[in-house]
Structures are given as structure tokens and as C-alpha cells.
Amino acid sequence: MSGILQPFFMYTNDGGVAGATYGLFGGGENSGGALVNTTQKYKYLSNIVSSGTVLGLARSGLAATGNSTVGIFGGGGPSVTRYTDKYTYSDDTRVAGTLLGLARFGLAATGNSTVGIFGGGYLVSNTVSNYTDKYTYSGNTRVAGTVLGLARYLLAATGNSTVGIFGGGYTDTVSNYTDKYTYSGNTRVAGTVLGLARYLLAATGNSTVGIFGGGGGVFVGSNYTYTDKYTYSGDTRAAGTVLGLARYGLAATGNSTVGIFGGGYTNTPSNYTDKYTYSGDTRAAGTVLSTALILLAACSATANGL
């Protein structure tokens, strides 16, 4: 594997409004170690995977979030960048977005219909960050947000229309820490810790719950199928249904009913997907992605209660 992370690796329906029907997976690193700018569209109802429009910059370790109209892919590396892509779901067009305030790799993102929050990450100065960007979709403006309570990278994030939960990650060891970021007022408090400390995990959810899935530990082969189910009301956490394949460096997105966890690393990059149904906490294998990838990102018009 290439870039900053090498030391760790060695040790709704398909009809209706365009964009509301699929999750968009973008960027990452393939099995040959090459960075990619490709995107893949996963339709929730039919489980069909098709190609989307390529991103403007090939990179891994990026993050993505969006609203019902656009998705924003931001940051990444291993040549750490502030670059963002703005992807319009309705016609699969892509333009460069507004740069993030701080170039970093291994960040996470979530948001609501108005703003996206990009948090954490690894800096070109070889330090771990608690920095956040608040990206307003209308007008493509960006300002610094409230810093996270713990500097870390390779974390995951999900949320609903009110709050975003940033969970897990790596500081000088793996973490189960969570931040609860309230969009209105830009306030942040510690959330309920995850049930398993890990990094390189993924998260998605609906308006009620977020699912944090997969990830890894500090030792070779410590890849997890474990999931946390985080209920926003009351900040309660319970173990969810395990994923079908233990892996880290995966991505996730979904709609109000299901979450799709795609890609990741076992002993090689994977194209495996899990389809997690929130009601009943059931899980089944989904359609494989067209390319096996690690350190990709994902967003959707219907994730996080949109």
C-alpha cells in the first residue's frame, strides 16, 4: 500500500428523483496500489452498480457528504490536499468545489441539507488534527467549524438533520471516542463511546440511528466485522449486526431504510458490499462494486435522514 498509511498496513427506490435512488462511491486505491478518480453508483432497490462521472483528482483517504442535490468529496492524499469535488446527482456532472481550509488525509464528513462538516485528519506536517470545515452547499462557501474534542484521523462520521457523530479513529492508538457536533450553533460535546476501539471504519444512517461498521486495530489481521448502532435521541449505543466480511478502509452511505458498506481491505482491496437494513438490524451481501478499492468515500442524496 502506498502513502502515509503504509506503516499501519504492514503491521428509496430506483424510480423517482434522480440521485435519490443510489449511493455514490468515489476515489480510493486499487489492488495495484494506484489512486483512482472513478465513481460507482449503487442503486438501493435493484442492487445494480454502474459507473458515475470521474472525480477531478485521483486520491484516497478522502471524505464525502452532501444533501439531496449534490455530494462533496473533500481532502485526501497521499499528497495531502484541500481539493473538493462537487457532484450533482441529477445529471452526473462534476465541478471543482471550494477548497477546504486545511489539507489533510483520513478525515471524515457528515452533514444535513444545508451544510457538511469535514472533521479530523492527518496533516502534511505529520500531525493529527481536530480541525473541522463547515461547507455550505448553497454558494459553496466554507468556514472553519468548531474543533473536535480529540484529534484523530481515519475516523468515520454520520448523523441526522440536527447532529453529526464522529466516531473512532487513530491518535497514538485506536480510539472509541465520539464527538457530537450540533450544526445549529456549531457546538460540540463528547458523545457515547463506541463498543470497540478501531480506525479505518465507515458509518452511515438515517434520521434515527447511525451504524458504524468494520474497521481495524493496530495489529496485522485485526480486521473487524463489528458494528455499533448509535441512536441519536438519548445518545445510546448497542452492538449491531456484524458485517459479512471483516475489513477496514471501507466506505458507507445509504437511504432511510438501508445502508451500503462497500470496499475495504482484508489481505487485499475488496469489492464486497454489505446491505444493512436498519429496521430489524438485518444484513445481507449486496452487489459487488465494479472495482476493488480501499480508502474510498461515499455519499447519497438520501443518507442521514435527507
Nearest CA-CA partner of 85 in 69, 73, 93: 73
SS3 of 75-108: the string is CCECCCCCCEEEEECCCCEEEECCCCCCCCECCE
- The reported pTM is 0.94
pLDDT of residue 283: 98
Q: Where are the domains of the chain?
A: 6-305
Average pLDDT, the chain: 93
Cα–Cα distance, 211 to 276 (Å, whole number): 9
CA 206-297-301 angle, 5° bins: 40
Give 40-64 pLDDT, tens digit per residue: 999 999 999 999 999 999 999 999 9
What are the residues whose beta carbons fall under 8 Å from the beta carbon of 116, sequence distance 6 or more? 65, 66, 67, 72, 109, 110, 134, 135, 137
- The single-letter code of the amino acid at 226 is Y
Give 248-262 pLDDT, tens digit per residue: 999 999 999 999 999
Q: Per-residue pLDDT for 118 more than 70? A: yes
6-305 falls under which CATH superfamily?
Kelch-type beta propeller (2.120.10.80)
Q: Can you tell me the mean pLDDT for 68-90?
A: 96
pLDDT of residue 7: 33
Portion of the chain with pLDDT greater than 90, in percent = 88
pLDDT of residue 14: 45
Cis amide leading into 78 (omega within 30) = yes
pLDDT of residue 13: 38
CA 252-255-258 angle, 5° bins: 70
- Between residues 188 and 302, which one has the greater pLDDT? 188
pLDDT band at 12; cut points 50, 70, 90: very low
Nearest CA-CA partner of 305 in 67, 7, 90: 67
Cα–Cα distance, 188 to 191 (Å, whole number): 9
Give 161-206 pLDDT, tens digit per residue: 999 999 999 999 999 999 999 999 999 999 999 999 999 999 999 9
pLDDT band at 5; cut points 50, 70, 90: very low
Cell triple for residue 284?
A: 445481507
